[in-house]
Structure 1
Amino acid sequence: MKVTILGSSGSVSSPTNPASGYLVSTENSPSLLVDIGPGVMAKLQELQDPCEAHVAFSHLHADHCLDFPSLLVWRRFHPTAPAKSRNLCFGPTTTPVHLGRLSSSSPDEVDDMSDTFAFDSWQVGQPQIIDRLTVTPFPAVHPIESYSLRIQEHTTNKVVAYSGDSGWTDSLIECAKDADVFMCEATWGAGNGTYPPEMHLSGAEAGRIARLAGARSLVLIHIPPWGDPNGAVAAARTEFDGPVTIGESGLEIIV
């Protein structure tokens, strides 16, 4: 299993880093695109045919989903290589309406994605089999319906855990339990300040979750362009003694 970070910038994209988008690849099966924020569609084109991917959304804030209408255009209207069949799409319950309004021709309409994606909504703790992967959603703490995702490859049983956007919650510890790679948001950087509750994590909190979960490595993500990645890493290392890295666009993680 390989995870390629297409983008990991928090809240908005940066000049060198799109917003959230993570490509999970396995041999002989379509890849899984986890979130598709602004700029992610362009990066995806550098690596593969955009039609050859299932899609999973952690939540529907703009920095995690705004390139989805562009993916629909590619799949439907590419002049020589449109999508040959439907792929799977998973997300919060409102996904078809929320994203259907984004891609419709009128603000009063909802574009029906069912011609190109078969959608199912996340149910907490209910695994979904996506080809060679099993993805299990855990409840995140965020202002809208949001999930953290545990992704397990069937043949190796390797696990990648993805926090999505979340404040502190013990369910993140469960999601990341014994994970080979824990990709965790660290929006608040070193955590030196006063921040809104129940929204995001600091580097120290990400490190603490990784330690309590027994994760083998920690990749810090979702740090905005105005953020403090070095401070986030330093804070995480006060809590977690395993490898800690910044998840920059283009990073490939072999699991």
Structure 2
Amino acid sequence: MFQVRVLGEHGPYPAPGGATTGFLIQTDEGNVLLDCGSGVFAELTKYVKIEELDAVLVTHHHADHVSDIPVLRYAVMIAQNRKLLRQKLPIYANQEPQHLFASLAFEPYVTTHKLSSASNVQLIGASFTFANTIHAISCLAVRVEYKGNVFVFSADSGPCAALEQLAKDADVFICEASWLEKDKGSAEIGHLTTKEAARIAKRADVKQLALTHFFPDYDRSVIQKEAEEAYGSAVHLCKQGEIISIS
């Protein structure tokens, strides 16, 4: 088994009943939570208990990717106090900005580990590697390889050669698509339009493109149309609660 459960797909804030960025990566060997935005923790607990979580990975420190971390840490504390969890939960997070990385500490319940584009982390039998994206603050895209299959998550990024290289030949590429073409923002903000995401995926020769990080008010059919026009074939739109198999 190698799969990704979508826990939230909105940004920068959730729709009613929704959640911002969060994914549960699962292999035959365990569970890793990738980002933990608003509403993600409650969604996570539908599928795994806190004591079944092997690690948390944080791509960057914007609120829509980390706002539920304090709530998750309380759950870890209570699980340890109840003897349900006997070890500290490791949180692997972008080391920049340093003061925000430091704010993740919660002794004696979690351990924090610094991530950069040079990191290579082995978790749940998989290899996790990273690339710097173009974003308003330091942000890391993630490549996960398990038993010959590859999943890549863009995190937040503007058009970026390093992201395209990281996504090369991925079986599944989940990419942010924050804007419709008509709403494209300035480059320093560091987000992609649906068409830009599709073009990156096409050049990277990914097998399946799935889009995420949707503005809640957008019409999904318009997102789909713009993306598929640029990609040239079917594009999947992430939906809260679904499983995406990596094969």
- TM-score, normalised via structure 2 length: 0.91
Instruction: Look up the match of 2:114.
Output: 121
Instruction: Look up the match of 2:40.
Output: 40
Superimposed CA distance per residue, residues 92-138 of structure 1 (whole angstroms, 9 cap, x where no aligned partner)? 1147842664xxxxxxxxx7425233322122143211131111110
Instruction: Look up the match of 2:218.
Output: 227
CA pair 23-95 structure 1, distance change in 2 beyond 3 A? farther
Instruction: Look up the match of 1:184.
Output: 175
The answer (yes or no) to whether the contact 1:10–1:19 under 8 Å persists in 2 is: yes
The worse-fitting range, judged by mean Cα deviation, of 48-57 and 133-142 is: 48-57
Instruction: Look up the match of 2:19.
Output: 18
CA pair 114-159 structure 1, distance change in 2 beyond 3 A? farther
Superimposed CA distance per residue, residues 40-96 of structure 1 (whole angstroms, 9 cap, x where no aligned partner)? 110111101123221001111000001011111111124645422123221111478
Q: How does 1:167-246 map to 2 (within 5 A)?
A: 167-189=158-180, 191-198=181-188, 199-246=190-237
CA pair 24-39 structure 1, distance change in 2 beyond 3 A? same
Inter-partner Cα distance in structure 2 for 1:125 and 1:228: 38
The worse-fitting range, judged by mean Cα deviation, of 137-146 and 232-241 is: 232-241
Gaps of 5+ in 1: 102-110
Instruction: Look up the match of 2:124.
Output: 131
The answer (yes or no) to whether the contact 1:35–1:65 under 8 Å persists in 2 is: yes
2:85 partner letter: A
The answer (yes or no) to whether the contact 1:68–1:99 under 8 Å persists in 2 is: no
SS in 1 for 2:87: coil
Instruction: Look up the match of 1:66.
Output: 67
Inter-partner Cα distance in structure 2 for 1:221 and 1:89: 23
RMSD: 1.9
2:64 partner letter: D
The answer (yes or no) to whether the contact 2:14–2:216 under 8 Å persists in 1 is: yes
The answer (yes or no) to whether the contact 1:19–1:37 under 8 Å persists in 2 is: yes
Inter-partner Cα distance in structure 2 for 1:96 and 1:132: 29
Instruction: Look up the match of 1:87.
Output: 89
Q: How many residues align?
A: 242
Inter-partner Cα distance in structure 2 for 1:239 and 1:45: 37
User: Among the aligned pairs, what percent are the same residue?
Assistant: 26
The worse-fitting range, judged by mean Cα deviation, of 177-186 and 234-243 is: 234-243
Per the TM alignment, residue 217 of structure 1 is displaced from its structure 2 partner at its CA by: 0.6
Gaps of 5+ in 2: none
The answer (yes or no) to whether the contact 2:7–2:24 under 8 Å persists in 1 is: yes
2:87 partner letter: S
SS in 1 for 2:231: coil
CA pair 88-170 structure 1, distance change in 2 beyond 3 A? same
